[in-house]
Copies of this chain bind each other. A is one copy, B any other.
Amino acid sequence: MNIVQQVESVKKAQVFLGALSTEAKNNALKNISYKLKEKAPEIIEANKRDMELSRKEDLNEALLKRLKFDELKITEVREGIESLAGLEDPVGKTLSARELDKGLELFQVSCPIGVIGMIFESRPDALVQIATLCLKSGNGVILKGGHEAANTNRILADIIHCASVEAGLPEGWIALAESREDVAAMLELEDSIDLLIPRGSNSFVKYIMKNTSIPVMGHADGICHLFVDADADIPMAVDITDDAKTQYVAVCNAVETLLVDSRIAESFLPELKKRMDEKNVELRGCERTGRIIEVEAASEEDWSTEYLDYILSVKVVDSEDEAIDHINTYGSGHTDGIITSDREKASRFMDLVDSADVLWNCSTRFADGFRYGLGAEVGISTNKIHARGPVGLEGLVIYKWRLIGNGHRVADYSGDNPRKYTHKQLEKRYNEEF
């Protein structure tokens, strides 16, 4: 089957997957977990082949580490699947119920989005995580992983498919795309793919966003800010900046630019400098910063750069409004925080900064599905519609309107002597009807 046929087949299967009971889906998840354990030696063998090929291609150590899929990783993904089986089903929830007239009842009920195209880089555990999240939320999925992980991805997708079909899921609900040509073809399939979720580098995500009319959920840049207000507690500001910058530099929710109120700059910046020197963080500062501490001079480009490295740009501002304006201009709408002891300024900051996550007196690194307690994370979205920030299972569903009547016609509600709508909120749920 070519990719177009594969996607068609996922679409057909998803119709039935979307209507399955919670029990049926959870049984499939449990069988997948069981089969991953049973087939562990084969998975590890396939992964070794990928590792060898990648070593020959001189893949760097960080990427090799992400590619590795051993006994420990299998245990981890199985734990993830077991916990997913325990989560509430996001499908079939009654979001609202309303009587339009006697015997004419409207239910807004959550349902899967449909067919998800997931494009990610080399980590094979991402394949298992996304496939099982799609299963739980009733979505069909086409997965395209990195070519480095081709053998591992193939056996994992195969196990997931076989184990779930054995447990009663419709054949073909999951498919694997393998080439760049497949990805290019997927971008054109707006009638069959309902949502694309790309995970990877900034330029890769931007490329996807620019080259398809399918909705895309994800984030390109993660240019996160902290604003140290005039009323900040200085030791707290140093500690939070340290955590937000150095706890893990290579991630999207690490801080990249620090904005400092001019009224606190002279007392705060030397303390910051001391800590950043200890942690080997290079500071790039605006002119006013440079007058207080020794820093590299920041250029205009620094304000819109995601370093993902031990580098922090620093700018002195004269007011909270200037800080907010800087963030709304140069930020990426990801995660931005204020450090202050003034409730009103904190509230104003969180109101006016237009980002998915706005924080007060804590580290930007908390902006994450696991830390937020969402259970499992599809990714982080800087979109302004549908789902924003860390996206859990809820981000993979939408709703249908289900209207139940008994011969009701619109004509009776117009013209002379029309019937009136009652528009009364109902307390019952849709599934109590069937």
Contact = CB atoms under 8 A, between A and B. Distances in A.
A137 B409 CA distance: 32
Given A362-B104, A403-B367, A385 B385 contact: yes
A13 interface: no
Given A366-B100, A367-B403, A347 B411 contact: no
Contact of A347 (B215, B360, B434): B434
| Identical chains bound together, number | 2
Interface stretch (A161-169, A173-181, A233-241): A233-241
Contacts of A348: 19
Contacts of A247: 409-411, 414
A78 to B, nearest CB: 22
A371 B421 contact: yes
A354 interface: yes
A117 interface: no
B410 A354 contact: no
A361 interface: yes
B363 A402 contact: no
A295 B433 CA distance: 39
A347 B433 CA distance: 9
Contacts of A56: none
A358 interface: yes
A434 B342 CA distance: 11
Interface string A385-405: 110111000000011111111
A83 interface: no
Interface string A232-257: 01001001101100011000000000
Interface string A328-358: 1000000001000001001110111011111
A190 to B, nearest CB: 8
A15 B352 contact: yes
A286 interface: no
A365 interface: yes
A400 B388 contact: yes
A200 to B, nearest CB: 18
Given A15-B352, A195-B385, A361 B409 contact: no
A202 interface: no
Contacts of A402: 350, 358-360
B359 A405 contact: yes
A352 B384 contact: no
B407 A240 contact: yes
A384 B195 contact: yes
A194 B356 CA distance: 14
A421 B399 CA distance: 31
A101 to B, nearest CB: 10
A404 B352 CA distance: 16
A267 interface: no
A367 B372 CA distance: 37
A403 to B, nearest CB: 5
A373 B215 contact: no
Given A355-B400, A400-B358, A215 B407 contact: no
Nearest to A395: B385
Contact of A405 (B362, B405, B434): B362
The 10 nearest A-B residue pairs measured at CB: A362-B405, A373-B423, A243-B409, A365-B410, A19-B351, A194-B384, A362-B408, A386-B386, A385-B386, A236-B407
17 contacts: A18-B352, A98-B373, A100-B373, A104-B366, A210-B213, A215-B215, A215-B383, A217-B385, A240-B407, A359-B402, A360-B404, A361-B407, A363-B405, A366-B403, A366-B410, A388-B399, A389-B400
